[in-house]
Amino acid sequence: MTSIEFSVWTETPTSAHYRHDWTPTPDSALGGIWLSGVGTGTDGEEYFGLRGFSDFVHGMTHLVSPVCGFRNLKPTLDAAPPHLFGEYATIDWMEPYSAASDDDSTTVTFDSGKVVRDGDGCHWTDAIGRWEWHGRTISDVFVVHVPVQPGVDQEAFYRHELLFGRGNVEGTIVEGYVHQDFAYGPPGTFYTDLAIARELYGLWVSWVHEFEDGEKGGGCFWQGRDGIEGFGPGYFLDGGKTTAYKDITSTLTRNENRRLTRIEADIGGKQLTFDLSMSGGPLHFFGRLAATSDNRPIKRSWVFVEFPDGMVNGAIIDMVGDKYRLARGR
């Protein structure tokens, strides 16, 4: 087993965190941003959207490569859900974007929409109004740092936060959650160059829940892949407080087709059970927080899981990213 050195901490969100020139250290640089919305419509349908920024090519945003896009989730683990918008369904949809900031806000603009971060939260809109999400941050900013060490040749940072979201999808009112996560590494690198993606992670979980009394909570955590010992960074928003942990553990249950159906996690001495019933494709699963060890009634929840099950490693990442070499100047 390989043991990995890493550190975790939380920060109070500020407008500076959403500037594209914000970095956790002076000698690091942005290596990717992802923006996701997961929600339930008044029509009873479940919706998912995920867009990446500067994670394959700096200054470009994308929807399809390899698992992004807008989907109408269905109650099955064994089929890819239908795309919401046909133009994103078959090819990589890459667009240049611009980012402009002032003291109070950052606006990211691209041909098919824009994202605004301001004092009211995050506002993600499609250019013709088909997709509109407004999220308000409910957690602190969480950061994990993996320094250079044997087996890790470039330091990596990952940060994450949770937002409660409301909006509409093609006119249907939705509620759920939004998350933003960011990767940083040496200048000129991308998330796919760094050890978290290439060597370390075997599971990633993010969720928001609301108890019957109205209190909102949630969190995010990683688990190391087979052969990696003790890689359990994450955080838990509980009782209005965001706490970072290094030692989160989990037990996974899969069905006869090896699709992930349940995660039982231990976070800071509390046990949480996540039941998964929907698939977003080969890597992504969705469901609900089914129970917590303090037995508080859960009104609603949204769980987003990435579980590559051996399908992601450095060689596969390089194969997927090979077509971007010219654009990256490599």
Cα(265)–Cα(282) distance, integer angstroms: 22
Cα→Cα distances 289→205, 219, 257, 293, 316, Å: 11, 11, 22, 12, 32
Mean pLDDT, residues 63-76:
89
Q: Which amino acid is at 50?
A: L
Taking alpha carbons only, the member of 230, 217, 141 closest to residue 182 is 141
Domain spans, the chain: 2-328
Cα(273)–Cα(223) distance, integer angstroms: 15
- 80 pLDDT more than 90: no
Summarize pLDDT for 277-300 with one digit per residue, the tens: 999 988 999 999 999 999 999 999
Summarize pLDDT for 9-45 with one digit per residue, the tens: 999 999 999 999 999 999 999 999 999 999 999 999 9
Question: What pLDDT, on a 0 to 100 scale, did the predictor assign at position 282?
Answer: 87
Taking alpha carbons only, the member of 65, 53, 59, 169 closest to residue 117 is 53
Cα(139)–Cα(125) distance, integer angstroms: 22
Distance from first CA to last CA of the chain, Å, rounded? 34
Instruction: Could you list the beta-strand ranges (E) of 170-215.
Output: 172-185, 201-211
Cα(286)–Cα(278) distance, integer angstroms: 5
Q: Which residues contact 115 (CB under 8 A, 6 or more apart)?
A: 35, 107, 108, 122, 123, 124, 125
Query: Across all residues in the chain, what is the average pLDDT?
Result: 94
Strand partners, 217: 209
Cα(262)–Cα(250) distance, integer angstroms: 10
Q: Which amino acid is at 70?
A: F
Summarize pLDDT for 125-161 with one digit per residue, the tens: 999 999 999 999 999 999 999 999 998 999 999 999 9
For 319, phi and psi rounded to 5 degrees? -65, -45
Strand partners, 175: 40, 166
Mean pLDDT, residues 195-204:
94
